Each structure stands twice: as C-alpha cells, then as structure tokens.
Amino acid sequence: MEYYSFLLGLLAFFLLGRLFASADIVEFDENYEITWGYDHVLLFNQGREVQLSMDISSGAGFGSKLRYGSGFFHMRIKLPPKDSAGLTSQGDKHDELDFEFLGNREGKPITLQTNVFADGVGNREQRILLWFDPAANFHTYQILWNQHQIVFYVDDVPIRVFKNNKNIGVGYPSQAMQVEASLWDGDSWATDGGKTKTNWSMAPFKAHFQGFDIGGCPIIQNTNVQECYSPKYWWNSEKYWKLDSKQQIELENVRNKYMSYDYCSDRPRYPVPPPECLLQ
C-alpha cells in the first residue's frame, strides 16, 4: 500500500484524535482545504468524506486552515485495496508527528511507521505490522499531543509513546502546527527501500478520509502557544500525562506482537542509543 503521512509540524502536522459523536457530521470545508492535486480530489456524502487519488500524472493533498498548539485529534482512513507499493506522502522538516503507511504488494501485511521530528531532527522511526487490513474498512488513527507526552493510537489502542525529555536534551515538538495529508509517488524508497516499484497498471490509487472535526487548541493571530498548555483543554489534564494501566498493557501487547522495527534497538545505526531510549 502507499505511504501516507500525518504530519505534526511547524508547517505540517497530522494530529489524529478521538472519534467524537459529531466527527462525521463536520464537512471537509469547515476546517480543511485542498492544497494540491485539485483534479485528484473528490468529496462525497455532502462533504463528509474525501477521496485522494494518484496516477502517474499526479497525487493530491489537503491541509487544515488553522495551526494548533496542542490537541487530541482523529482521522478515519481507508487505504486503497489495490497493489500500490511505493507510494508516499510528504511534509515539511520542522516539528512533525508522522503516521506513514509503507507500501507493499497486494496480499502482504501493511507496515505502519511512526516518526517524531523536533526542530527538524527526526530519525526516530518505529514500525508495526497492522493486525487488520486497512483497505477493507475505515480505521481511526489518533495522536495525543500535550507538554508531557505524545501518544500514537490506532482505533484507540496506543501503539507508541514519546515522552517530553527536554530536561536531558531531547528535542520535543512545541511549535504551532497545521494538519496536512497527501498522497504522492515515493517508490524510490517507501517499499523495500525502493526496490519495489509502483505498479502503475493498477492506478489510480484511491484513499478515503472521514472525520473532519478538529479538537485542538487553535493558534489565531497573535495567540501565544503557551496558552495551548492550559488545563482548560481536557487533553492537558493530569489524566493524560501518562498511560493508565490498561493502556500500558495494550501498548506492550502491540510492541511484543507487531513491532518490526524500533530505532532504539538499531545498534548499527546507533551504537550509542539516543538518550530517550535509555528511559524506556
């Protein structure tokens, strides 16, 4: 499948969060706008579902109209059912929190990669093999982002935690960011390190998105990003400073059963583990 990226960044972040009851009644145009590939985007169900498509001529993308300083957001996504190895999505290199679906041949498990960038420094990849077919139905991809931790979720199950360890010199995303999603050709690297190329005979590749409410703290005009750390936003309350016991068990289950790569364990790449890895 293709490699989509939900990017948390100074110019681009894809915060995904809790599915509220109102999520599917919010129209796309309320919070988002098409950013490129206009003729490769279709809206369905009165603007409550968006399709991005990609062929050999172009991909497509959309982004939020506002920037955010913290939040707990969601997006429901259904991947293309066809062989779409090598496709990818892009974003800027400032602060980012990424969900990336790494392409594969039809019938093979889909790898979900997450990454964390702070001040342009990333290389913190973790990969899991999804325990379901992301092309068969919509699934919810979520990210909690506050000043204590970043948590990646799939269908409310935590799959990764990145703690704020600025006190030991580890960068932590803290810049105002936008929501951005895009689909483009990344067969130079996205699948098997670029060895598996996009099969254009299967194009167009189509991904569907739902859930366009945004529950983050908006940065409007001269709003100070520090205001987004206020406890008036429920995701900043002490309850969300760490996982509860049930979530911790769920996280360990995912890591034990489905994790295929963790940068913290890559000794050829990092002979000396990054400092945050020593605290896990």
Class of the domain covering 28-277: mainly beta
Q: Domain-by-domain residue ranges, the chain?
A: 28-277
**96 carries an active-site annotation:** yes
Q: State the burial class of residue 122 (Cβ atoms within 10 Å of its Cβ: 0-12, 13-18, 19+).
A: middle
pLDDT score, position 192: 54
**Of residues 198, 204, 209, 196, the one with CA closest to residue 81:** 204
Mean pLDDT, residues 109-121 taken together: 87
Q: Choose the catalytic residue: 2, 49, 100, 276.
A: 100
CA dist 151 and 72 (Å) reads: 9
pLDDT over 70 for what percent of the chain? Answer: 80
Do 184 and 88 contact (CB within 8 A), yes or no? yes
Average pLDDT taken over every residue of the chain: 83
Model confidence band, residue 225 (pLDDT cutoffs 50, 70, 90): confident
Do 65 and 32 contact (CB within 8 A), yes or no? yes
**Angle, vertex CA 68, rays to CA 206 and CA 111, nearest 5:** 35
Of these ranges, 82-91, 108-117, 255-264, the one predicted with the greatest mean pLDDT is: 255-264
pLDDT score, position 23: 53
Q: Choose the catalytic residue: 2, 49, 96, 180.
A: 96
pLDDT score, position 37: 95
**250 carries an active-site annotation:** no
pLDDT score, position 17: 36
pLDDT score, position 28: 96
Do 28 and 48 contact (CB within 8 A), yes or no? yes
In the predicted structure, residue 50 carries a pLDDT above the cut 50: yes
Model confidence band, residue 88 (pLDDT cutoffs 50, 70, 90): very low
In the predicted structure, residue 256 carries a pLDDT above the cut 90: yes
Mean pLDDT, residues 26-46 taken together: 95
pLDDT tens digits for range 128-151: 999 999 989 999 999 999 999 999
pLDDT score, position 100: 86
pTM: 0.86
In the predicted structure, residue 60 carries a pLDDT above the cut 60: yes
